[in-house]
Structure 1
């Protein structure tokens, strides 16, 4: 029994010696200062918009008090001081937010850090006519937040940002489609508008929807794909009876439905084949036709 007690006492001493020493003070300016005081000073500078000074105080904690309870807060503070500093910005802050999440994935501030990862991408999203890589990256970061921290208030905020990103992607497809249409690249414009209608219809405004019907229908019309053009012309006139495009669309739809345009198209094809001495498709021969007295089968 006595031996068992000695062994237990030794184990307690060893375990006690293995515990990390908590840093409560650090050396700065030739004297010891409480870590909490250094952190509060950094926080004050951050609130006042003095981001460079804030980073200096947070860095003191990171470099000299890694075992303090303020260490995780200081890492987050540095990231915030970079994100809100116009001279540094989201690009610098991103690595620090991601670093925080590697060190402290289950801390109470982890949802905020993940939200700010998304905001680093979100704040760099460009206008609809430019590349939208940051929109895709922001959606991925915000979706990760919703999956990992579904009950966090930041998860709700991320839903609004995700919707805004999808709206920007929809606006991008629309802008590019219009660009190709005006350049008379109707195949390219059709692909953009078709993709927009298939994937982003719920994210475009009513005005954009009206214009998409029009430009997509016109692209199809210019390519002489009259059936598809007619389909979107009808949708346009039905959903937007007072559209500015009404007279043009109604006239072209009437020409399509009369069969006039299809006949003109076939005539042009026939003239082209004749001009270039290209034989049309041979007619199918029935089993009752005869050639040189023999039945063709």
Structure 2
């Protein structure tokens, strides 16, 4: 077999493989971007959030330049939020804001990001970190979009976070006080007054400040 024939055979094999690859890719794209979007929205409305993520992810994977990409990015984040997969939701919302900074949904995305942290405030071992992060996100939203429709809700959430932080600080102070570490306790009680005034726990902090000062003088 001469070199010319070998070259023809090799070229034929390459073309056949390429055609097979294209056929395989087309087979994977069983539906159009619109069909996947419609399917994803139906799943989301039916609270089938995992299925919704699968449908929207196919748009991201197979139709990255589709007009439905923005919808896919947003609803993937929303689906993770509804599943209480807050870390995944935060990552998805952050990605949306990075990829679509001028989109009209950005205020909503920032608000939802704040909610992801706010929803975790009741988790004792993480409440201080998540409360602070929620405050940071909500304040950024109100600063970046002063007249956003979420302002009233964010103010309520911020106040709850501040109260949570105040109660946590008070609790640490009480622990130190009962352990007779009065200087450490005094520092915590004073923090309640200076950092978190008018949160409903400052009266108790004042009482224990006086007690700590008395104990330290003895």
1:209 aligns with 2:209: no
Match of 1:115 among 106, 111, 116: 111
Partner Cα separation in structure 2 for residue 195 and residue 55 of structure 1:
44
Partner Cα separation in structure 1 for residue 126 and residue 54 of structure 2:
37
Partner Cα separation in structure 2 for residue 197 and residue 30 of structure 1:
61
Match of 2:74 among 73, 76, 79: 76
Partner Cα separation in structure 1 for residue 75 and residue 93 of structure 2:
10
Q: Which has the higher helix share?
A: 2
- Number of equivalences: 194
- How far the C-alpha of 1:126 sits from its partner, in A, is 4.0
Alignment TM-score, normalising by the size of structure 1: 0.60
Alignment TM-score, normalising by the size of structure 2: 0.81
> Structure 1: 5+ residue runs without aligned partners?
1-25, 225-264, 266-297
Partner Cα separation in structure 2 for residue 94 and residue 81 of structure 1:
11
Q: Which has the higher strand share?
A: 1
Matches within 5 A, 1:228-247: none
**What is the root-mean-square deviation of aligned Cα atoms in Å?**
2.1
Q: Which residue of 1 aligns with 2:212?
A: 219
Instruction: From the CA coordinates, give the structure whose radius of gyration is larger.
Output: 1
Match of 1:171 among 167, 180, 195: 167
Give 3-state SS (helix, strand or coil) of 1:132's partner: helix
Q: Give the conservation status (yes or no) of the 8 Å contact 1:149–1:155.
A: no
Relative distance call for 1:55 and 1:32 in structure 2 (3 A) is closer
1:104 aligns with 2:100: yes
- How far the C-alpha of 1:29 sits from its partner, in A, is 5.9
Q: Which residue of 1 aligns with 2:20?
A: none
Partner Cα separation in structure 1 for residue 101 and residue 184 of structure 2:
45
> Structure 2: 5+ residue runs without aligned partners?
1-24
- How far the C-alpha of 1:134 sits from its partner, in A, is 1.3
Q: Which residue of 1 aligns with 2:194?
A: 198
